[in-house]
A and B are shown apart, each in its own frame.
Chain A
Amino acid sequence: DAGVIQSPRHEVTEMGQEVTLRCKPISGHDYLFWYRQTMMRGLELLIYFNNNVPIDDSGMPEDRFSAKMPNASFSTLKIQPSEPRDSAVYFCASSLDWLIADTQYFGPGTRLTVL
């Protein structure tokens, strides 16, 4: 398997623009996670899905953020409108089973810069 795939790897946009980050999990994995990494706050869980259903979105910072998983092989994280404080590296990860115990496989991340 190719591992978790994220696109784009880098995104530079201007404040107020819509940003869409994409993720393809490892085939057969039931759980998908979106994280945000910043110097100040470290790695934070934003939302996770089980079998395409959002289970916990309590980490989503505000209504400007939304995430979807229309099928088992694709998920998006959207920011609309984007703000400079959204600049961070966004990771997608997936795991096979058993939420708290199973190894997460991370994608390479998307570095987002909002000017």
Chain B
Amino acid sequence: AQTVTQSQPEMSVQEAETVTLSCTYDTSESDYYLFWYKQPPSRQMILVIRQEAYKQQNATENRFSVNFQKAAKSFSLKISDSQLGDAAMYFCAYNQFYFGTGTSLTVIP
């Protein structure tokens, strides 16, 4: 089975600053999809951003962008201009089913 690794259990960022969350994965497939989900204290899992492996261009959604390095099997999430509402657990996922253990992000006012 594919594995997804998030090596940062906890991260913190000052409000308005930029933070990058790391994710690596293991696969032998050439085409696949990668996702970042956000889980705020309400527990609701919310899709943040999605990347298709065959696309060279990094996905962006407003203040959220990814740095997708296919050869390195790396898929990091960059949050720009961090806001208090960004505080949550963030999960990286491979092909829907395979999730990392999450990174808890704290935003400091």
Contact = CB atoms under 8 A, between A and B. Distances in A.
**What is the interface of chain B mostly: helix, strand, loop, or mixed?**
loop
Interface string A34-49: 0000000011110010
Interface in A65-100: 89, 91, 93, 95, 99-100
Contacts of A44: 99
Interface size of A as a range: 20 to 34
Interface of A is mostly: strand
B80 interface: no
Nearest to A45: B97
A99 B96 contact: yes
Interface residues of B, number: 20
A108 interface: yes
B32 A100 contact: yes
B75 interface: no
A100 B42 contact: no
Contacts of B96: 33, 95, 99-102, 104
A43 B44 contact: no
Nearest to A91: B45
